[in-house]
Amino acid sequence: MRDPHPHPDAGPGTGEGTDCPSGCRARGLRGPVPSAQEAADAVRVAMARGDGDRTFAVVLEVRDRLRDALALREEPALVADAWVRRPTGLEGPWFVLLAVLVHHEFERVNLPPPAWTAAQQLPTAWVLDTPRLTDAEIRDQTPTWLAARNIYIAVKDLGTL
């Protein structure tokens, strides 16, 4: 089924017929809400391209779509079912960031977060570079729930890209 709002960049080889406004099918995200595995697969594909900005954009897109689904659905527990199982094939800082964002979104709507998101923490600090901010400024501007997991991203960068 085609979405009435196809991504303007859709075309051959890019997920033509994408069914989300931000081109998620082109990145491997299918349907209105990706499962944890589909999300991890999309992040892994973005990582393989070696573009950290693109990978970050995919992670934020997953977060935004999950947020919308949890807020708009009559039965948010149905959305939660797609996130129960820990995704495979993704490790390291991008996996931990995905887990932390998913955990946070579930807590925002007073649903128990998936168990695989609870204990994720990086062993050393990971500071996501931001133009015009020093590492110290990024750390100061990071939400406490992210800093607690050893991830430092300025709050301004957590908005939708």
Output the pLDDT for position 161.
52
Residue that is written with structure tokens 């050393």 in the block: 124
Q: Which of 62, 139, 142 is nearest to 94 (CA)?
A: 62
- State the pTM of this model: 0.78
Distance of alpha carbon 148 from the chain centroid: 18
Q: What is the pLDDT of residue 104?
A: 96
What average pLDDT score do residues 14-36 get? 48
pLDDT tens by residue, 100-134: 999 999 999 888 999 999 978 899 999 999 889 99
Neighbours of 54 (CB within 10 A): 15
> pLDDT at residue 9 above 80?
no
**Is the confidence at residue 39, as pLDDT, over 70?**
yes
